[in-house]
Structure 1
Amino acid sequence: MNPIGIFDSGIGGLTVFKSIAAALPAYDYIYLGDNSRAPYGNRSFNTIHQYTWECVQWLFGQGCPLIILACNTASAKALRTIQQKDIQALDPDKRVLGVIRPTAEVVGNYSNTGEIGVLGTNGTVQSNSYPLEIEKFFPNLKVYQQACPLWVPLIESGEYEKPGADYFVKEYIDGIMAQSANIDTLLLGCTHYPLIQDKIEAHLPKNVRVVAQGDIVADSLVNYLQRHPEMEQNLSKGQTKLFYTTDDTAEFDHHASRFFSAPVTSSHVAVNELRCK
C-alpha cells in the first residue's frame, strides 16, 4: 500500500478527511490524530514542529508518499520547515501539503464586501499566515483575525455538544464581528471548528457566510494529483481507510463514526512510538 496520509492534532482533521474521501474515493488512506497532545494551538513553534514532524515521519513509515496536514496550526508553524528542510534531508520524493495555501487561493471569492474574518487557534493567528497568504491572491481584501483558544479543548473533550459551550462560541464571534461591521465572510481557520458550525452561525447576522475548509482542500488535492501524475500513479487504490490515534481509541471511534456515518475502529499509537526515529 502507498496510501495518502492525513494528519491532525486531534479529531478536527476528520472534517477534511471526509471531504477528501468523498472527492477521491478510490484511494487508500491512513489518518493519524495526535489526540493525546492536543491542542497544538497554544504550544511553541518548536514544540509544534517537533510533534508534527514526528507524526509525519510515522506516516512515511506506514508507506505514505503524500501527507496532508489537516491542521491549520501545523500548517502555519511547521509546514515550511518540513517542506524546505526536513523532507529534503530524509526523502525529496515525498510530499507534505497543508491547508492554508489552498484556502487562501479561493477565500476572497466568497466575499462581496471585500472584508473577511478568520477564526483560528492562538498559534494560527499569531503566525499571521492567513493575512500573508491571502494578500498574495487578493491584495485588496481586508482580513481580520480572532483567536478562539477554548474551542479546540471543548471539541476534543466532547463538551461542545452541551449548552454551556454556546457562551464561549458567542464570546469569540462577538470579538471578530466587533472589528468591522462590513465582514460578510467568516473562515473557519481550524479544521475542528466545523463541528460547532451550527452554533457559530446561530450567533451571526444572516448575511454573514461561514466557510469551512473541507471541500476547498479536497478540490485542491484533486487538482494537485492531476498536475502531478508521477505522484498519482504511485498511490494505491484499494478504497481502505485506516485510523490511528495517540489517545483513547473508544473516544476517537465515537467521533469518527459520526463523521463517516459508519462504524470506525481505530488503533492506538503510543507517543513514544512516534519518537522512535
Structure 2
Amino acid sequence: MGPIGIFDSGYGGLTVFKEIAKVLPAYDYIYLGDNARVPYGTRSFETVYMYTLECVEQLFSMGCQLVILACNTASAKALRTIQQKDLVAYTDTRKVLGVIRPTTEIIGHYTKTRQVGIMATSGTVNSHSYILEVNKFFPDITVYQEACPMWVPLVENNEINSPGARYFVKQHVQRLLNLSSNIDTIVLACTHYPLLLPIIQNLTPEGIRLLTQGHIVAKSLADYLSRHSEIDLTCSKNGIKEFYTTESPKAFNQKAALFYGERVSAKHLKITNS
C-alpha cells in the first residue's frame, strides 16, 4: 500500500489536488511539481513524455501505486504512451490516470447547443486530444479550441489582477467566441486557469457555462476507486499529504498557497535533468 501520487509540471495541479483531497480526505497523497522544468505547454511531445515518465517513475519509487497526471499537457502528450508502453513493464496493478478523459466523458451533459470551447496551452491545443476524446463520447459535439500561451505566466507571476491579465483574457475569449456564436460551454483545460476564473466570467457573455476541472477529476477518481477495489486496496489511508518540488521549496511554498488555498511545506526532490 502507498499514497496516491499527484503530478503536475508546476503549481496548477494543486487546484486539482485541493478538490481531490476534499472528496477523498482519508487517503494519503504525494504531490510532485516539476517546477524546475516548467513550462511543459511549449515543449515537444518527446520532451513532455520524457519529463512526465521520469516523474511518474519517481512517484512509483516513493510507494505510489496510482498516479494522477493533474496536468493537461502531460495528459495530452504523455499519458497514452505511458499507459500502453511503460506500464506493461510492471507486473502489479500500478495505474496512471489523467485529467482529459474525466472532463470529456461528461461534457455532453452540459452543452445544449452541442458546441463546446476549449481554452488551453498551445501544447494541449496542438495535440487535438480534447477534440479526439470528446468525439469518442459525443460524436455530435463540435469542439472549438483557443490556445492561451500568456495565461500560465500571468498566473505563475501572480499578475492575475493586473491590466495585462484582463487584456489577454479578453483577447482569447473573443477569439474563441468568434469561431462560433453558438458555443454554450467552455472548458478551462489548464489547471492554472481557475485562478483567472473571476476575470473570465466577467468577460464571457451570460449563458455560457465555464467548467474547471478540479471537482470533475475528484468525482471521477472517487468513482474509479469505488469500481476498482483492487486499486483502492493499494492506496494507504492515513490522511497524510506530502509536497515535493524539483525547484526551490521556499519559492514553491510562497506560491503554492495561491493554488492550494492553504499553506504547504514542500521538500526538494532531484529528478534527472531537472
Counterpart residue number, 2:230: 230
SS in 2 for 1:271: coil
How far the C-alpha of 1:97 sits from its partner, in A, is 0.3
Counterpart residue number, 1:221: 221
Counterpart residue number, 2:19: 19
In structure 1, distance between residues paired with 2:37 and 2:216: 27
Aligned amino acid, residue 81 of structure 1: T
Counterpart residue number, 1:104: 104
Counterpart residue number, 2:9: 9
Which stretch shows the higher mean deviation, 84-93 or 226-235?
Answer: 84-93
Aligned amino acid, residue 165 of structure 1: A
Which stretch shows the higher mean deviation, 209-218 or 89-98?
Answer: 89-98
Counterpart residue number, 1:171: 171
Counterpart residue number, 1:266: 266
Q: Is 2:195–2:259's contact at 8 Å kept on the other side of the alignment?
A: no
In structure 2, distance between residues paired with 1:188 and 1:44: 22
Counterpart residue number, 2:37: 37
Q: Deviations over 1:44-99 (max 9, x none)?
A: 01000000001001111110000000011110110011001111124552100011
How far the C-alpha of 1:156 sits from its partner, in A, is 1.9
Counterpart residue number, 1:51: 51
Q: CA RMSD in A?
A: 1.5
Q: Residues 168-247 of structure 1 correspond to what in structure 2 (within 5 A)?
A: 168-247=168-247
SS in 1 for 2:160: helix
In structure 1, distance between residues paired with 2:79 and 2:8: 13
Q: Give the structure-1-normalised TM-score.
A: 0.95
In structure 1, distance between residues paired with 2:4 and 2:18: 13
- Alignment pair present for 1:252 and 2:252: yes
In structure 2, distance between residues paired with 1:260 and 1:70: 13
Aligned amino acid, residue 238 of structure 1: N
Aligned amino acid, residue 212 of structure 1: T
User: Gaps spanning 5+ residues in structure 2: where?
Assistant: none
Q: Deviations over 1:29-57 (max 9, x none)?
A: 00001112111111001000000001001
In structure 2, distance between residues paired with 1:113 and 1:167: 28
User: Gaps spanning 5+ residues in structure 1: where?
Assistant: none
SS in 1 for 2:134: helix
Q: Deviations over 1:183-213 (max 9, x none)?
A: 1111011111111111111111011111001
How far the C-alpha of 1:143 sits from its partner, in A, is 0.7
Which stretch shows the higher mean deviation, 61-70 or 153-162?
Answer: 153-162
Percent of residue pairs identical: 55
